[in-house]
Amino acid sequence: MQENLTLEQIQNFKGKYPKQLWYLFFSEMWERFCFYGMRGMLTYFMVTQLLLSDKDANLQYGATQAFVYAFTFIGGLFADKILGFRKSLFWGGILMIVGSGILAYDPHEFFFLGISFTVVGTGFFKPNISTMVGKLYRPGDARRDGGFSVFYAGINIGALLGGYACIAIGKEYSWHLAFGLAAIVMTISLVTFIFTQKSLGPIGLPPSNDEEMVDVTLAGIDERVQPEPAVIKRKSINKKWYDYAVYAGSLAVIPLIMIMVAKTEYTDLFMYSIGPVTLIYLVYEMSKYGWPERKKLIAALVFILFSIVFWGIYEQCGGSLALFAAQNLDNKMFGSVVLDPNGVNNAANSLFVIIFAFIFSLLWIGLAKKKIEPNTVIKFGLAFIFLAGSFFIFYATRFFSNGSGIASLDVFVVAYLVMTFGELCLSPIGLSIMTKLSPVKLQGVMMGMWFLASAYGQYVAGRIGAGIAQAGENDSPVQKLMTYTEGYKVLAVYSLVAGVILIAISPVVRKLMQEVK
């Protein structure tokens, strides 16, 4: 493998895809196997093995996922300013392997310790490998979107395999083996990266002491989007003891994460505080700009606030829907194919994304050629309409159930198909529109706001799931079916109202966005 490649040599590749893309593809695929495999086990494991109530399991699921997204932003900042993407990715991978290993050793006794390691590890790993994919392309390279489409497929293949395999192995064979499998595939991911990183040349290396960083590509910070590159000049920081301080600090914060996830009232305090503080800071920063820039930032805040609502409803996937799948779904597809309903709950969305992401991209291109492509606000509104449709179908599973409260897995999967359509209307434009609406010097702040919104969405999802679960805590399967589906009908109504509001206010938001499409 050729060493000492320059950035120009890497970006001057022939054909459709740079070879480095495939190395990063496989590293990310196995890491996402680990992440979504772990995510898919959390709620079910807490209820059936730790004997937590449905309510508490939902709250702790929401807290865990909220901290994952919060630490993703923090990990990205440390990578950008101190460690570089490669060291950050390696450190995050090590922490994820340790966390999964702890859970494989004794998931009952050390559950929250293992989860805390994986939360912090994911924060260091998740944003940085995607960012390196963006670095493989020159700004304006028409092949860039195709490269991210391939990379996105790797993400969803990993999520599909891990989401189904881990929960099925845990339920049917051994939870030690299920968490151990997550540790094994994470090790494969890290080893793949270690043995192929020489092909990346300067990409991902920490900045030198006297280097002035000019080009900061925010590409792929969120796994679903490819935002515009930003150009920011700032003096880099790279002192060796800073690296050790980051490592030590990330280890020191693990006990704190354990406490806040296990005692969700502390998570409440954190979430009630960080949002208002961040918003006040953003208002302060906005005061430094003229009215045209402020209007764009107000438009960005509209997208941020609605994204919290969207993810709060959507992320029932890992919470209340996981318990619904375990308690109220049959295990047959098409009448004869036997599948684990929790595995289907974890994997269906990824399968549909793999199938339909390319189709949706072609659809938008075709509508754009005819000059009838919906604008960004309308797409956000359509995302909520599809989300509402999916939860109305989740509600409708009550009409396809037997006398024991066991509903049709087929209908459940159709709901996920419609939900995926909603995701594809919203996810691919989220962070991208943040960078387009933000002044260059505020793009880091707005990236943080978007991640914080995702964290709030996860947190809200836990609260909503806890509310649904608490209402049916001691019910029979038939009563649980009624309780859960009634909750999904309410969420469907909220989604529909949010979508209608967005579409109604789209002319106002479009004016605030000005020339941004």
150's CB contacts (< 8 A; 6+ apart) are 17, 21, 25
CB 384 within 8 A of CB 513: no
Q: Which range has the worst mean pLDDT, 46-55, 74-83, 155-164, 498-507?
A: 74-83
Residue 114 lies in a domain: yes
pLDDT per residue as tens digits for the range 172-203:
999 999 999 999 999 999 999 999 998 998 88
Residue matched to tokens 């493998």: 1
Alpha-carbon distance of 189 to 128, in angstroms, equals: 14
Residue 38 lies in a domain: yes
Answer whether residue 217 shows pLDDT above 50: no
Residue 401 lies in a domain: no
Residue 242 lies in a domain: yes
Q: What pLDDT score was predicted for residue 83?
A: 85
CATH code, domain with 94: 1.20.1250.20
Q: Kindly state the average pLDDT of the residues 264-284.
A: 87
Instruction: Give the residue among 393, 407, 313, 322 at the shortest CA–CA distance from 58.
Output: 322
Instruction: Give the residue among 348, 352, 311, 115 at the shortest CA–CA distance from 222.
Output: 311
Encoding tokens for residue 496? 């529909």
Residue 398 lies in a domain: no
- Total-model pTM: 0.88
Q: Which of 212-216, 285-289, 391-395, 505-509 has the highest mean pLDDT?
A: 391-395
Residue 171 lies in a domain: yes
Our count of domains for the chain comes to 1
Q: Kindly state the average pLDDT of the residues 144-150.
A: 75
Instruction: Give the residue among 191, 448, 431, 482 at the shortest CA–CA distance from 327.
Output: 482
Residue 330 lies in a domain: no
Residue 421 lies in a domain: no
Alpha-carbon distance of 318 to 379, in angstroms, equals: 25
Residue 87 domain boundaries: 17-262
